[in-house]
Chain A
Amino acid sequence: MIEVNGLVKRIGDKTILRGIQLKINKGETVGILGSNGAGKSTLLKVLAMIMKPTFGTVTIAGQDIRKNATALKQMVGFLPHASMVYDHFSPYENLKFFGSIYHIPDLELRVSELIDQVGLKLFTHEPVRSFSRGMMQRIAIARAMIHRPQLLLLDEPHTGLDQSAVEILNQVIEEMKKDQATILMVTHDFMQAAKICDRFIIIKGGRVADDFSVAEGDAAILYERYKQVVEGGKAGC
């Protein structure tokens, strides 16, 4: 699904990604771990086509992101830190607008289905500026899912969510996994990562430092491995 070869990303004088090599198969759910400033979010932004690689190639479903960006964007859903929704619009208006630019057929139906799914039915026509962080994240999830992406990129999606919002998010991810979607999740939440992901990549200093799998739900082993790689000085590959 995703092939990254020698990905380098420079912003100004700073080199954020230093030759990332990565191959992710269709249907995999991959947790991307690493300390702050390691380059995890930048990697996600390059895959989401917000940023362009300085060097190296990135292909999604066999197509180069530099050459086929517009077509590939239809396949990718991105949930970053920011909600990427309009404050003065209601969930309905936000989803209607984003659905229209993703050219979704039967948009009304899809919008009401998503609003139901993220548990915001009672707030369908309320402006989102009055929403709590958890409610905002729910509408952000719906926005990222509006076009039923085959590749979902999540940047610390569990941060600041209440328990019910976490359950909704996990349920959405589980449903996408059943549909054979590929999911990449940057996270610092080892519990959630161990529960959801079936493969882990640790980024350190802009390089892939480790790539492994652990038994489902085993957050302790995951954390040990992370500590060993990030704090123990294991070299990047």
Chain B
Amino acid sequence: MLIKDALKIAKKDLYTEWKTKATIGAMLIFSMLVVLVFSFAFDPMRANVQALIPGLIWVLVVFGGMLGLNRAFVAESKNDTIFALNIAPIDASSVYLGKCLANFILLLIVELIAIPFLFLLFDYKFDLSYLGHFILVLLIGTFGFISAGTLLAALSAQTKSAEMILPLLLFPIVSPLLIGVTQATKVFLNSPENLSSAISWIQLVGAYDVIIFAAGFLLYEYIQEV
């Protein structure tokens, strides 16, 4: 039942996005702009610039994702629809799960467009035999970021300056995750010979994901409690 209810909430959020295109449009434009500005700032032809790519990937994920996270709960405060979810006979965790799922899918769509765009502008090539590893890092990194971000977005949406509070709360909490995913991405894209080091980083990120998702799942109800 919890999963079914979560899917209904995710479907509602994605359908809203399909109708309004308000969030994904902003996320995409912002991410593309980051890529574009960096492509002008650094000469893509220089070899040392290629070393920046793993970092740039996570910069665009974080900044693009932040816009989506902010909207997830701020949009629910209009007409107090968040209360309509809170008074419904569903587990509070299903709202968190549904919101996580919708945010995750939206951010994946942004990544699917913005990352190839980044590779294209920087004329970046990497060993395609590590593409699966790279996608795995993207998936677990995005999942951890969204799990932490959705919980903190629910918390910050209850304040008057939600859009300012969220980054302040989120950045310190996702720092370990960002260090881990950037390091793992760097290994897979630039120096795949250090595979064991990447696996250690992935293990760190995996543990982070499990802890933060469990915390969100358990704490969401208390965050909504007045």
Contact = CB atoms under 8 A, between A and B. Distances in A.
A76 B86 CA distance: 12
Contacts of B226: 11, 45, 50-52
A102 B88 contact: yes
A84 B81 contact: yes
A98 interface: yes
Given A50-B83, A80-B80, A97-B8, A88 B20 contact: yes
A163 interface: no
A52 B86 CA distance: 12
Given A50-B226, A51-B226, A70-B90, A101 B85 contact: yes
Secondary structure at chain A's binding surface: helix, strand, loop or mixed? loop
B20 to A, nearest CB: 5
Contacts of A73: 87-89
A50 B86 contact: yes
A64 B8 CA distance: 28
Given A11-B226, A97-B12, A84 B80 contact: yes
Interface in A84-140: 84-89, 93, 97-98, 100-103
B88 A80 contact: no
Could you say which interface size class chain B belongs to? 20 to 34
Given A50-B87, A73-B87, A86 B5 contact: no
Tell me which of A70, A88, A101, A103 has the highest count of chain B C-beta atoms within 10 A of its own C-beta. A101
B127 interface: no
Contacts of B89: 70-71, 73-74, 101-103
Contact of B87 (A49, A86, A89, A100): A49
Interface string B66-87: 0000000000001111011111
A83 interface: yes
A48 B84 CA distance: 10
A75 B196 CA distance: 56
Contacts of B78: 87
27 contacts: A50-B87, A52-B225, A52-B226, A70-B89, A70-B91, A71-B89, A73-B87, A73-B89, A74-B89, A78-B83, A78-B87, A80-B80, A80-B83, A82-B80, A84-B84, A85-B81, A87-B78, A87-B79, A97-B8, A98-B88, A101-B5, A101-B8, A101-B85, A101-B90, A102-B88, A103-B89, A143-B84
Given A85-B79, A101-B90, A143-B84, 13 more contacts: A11-B226, A49-B87, A70-B89, A73-B88, A80-B83, A83-B80, A85-B81, A88-B16, A88-B20, A93-B15, A97-B12, A101-B8, A101-B88
Counting from the closest, the 5 A-B pairs by CB-CB distance are: A82-B80, A84-B84, A73-B89, A74-B89, A101-B88
Interface of B: 5, 8-9, 12, 15-16, 19-20, 78-81, 83-91, 225-226
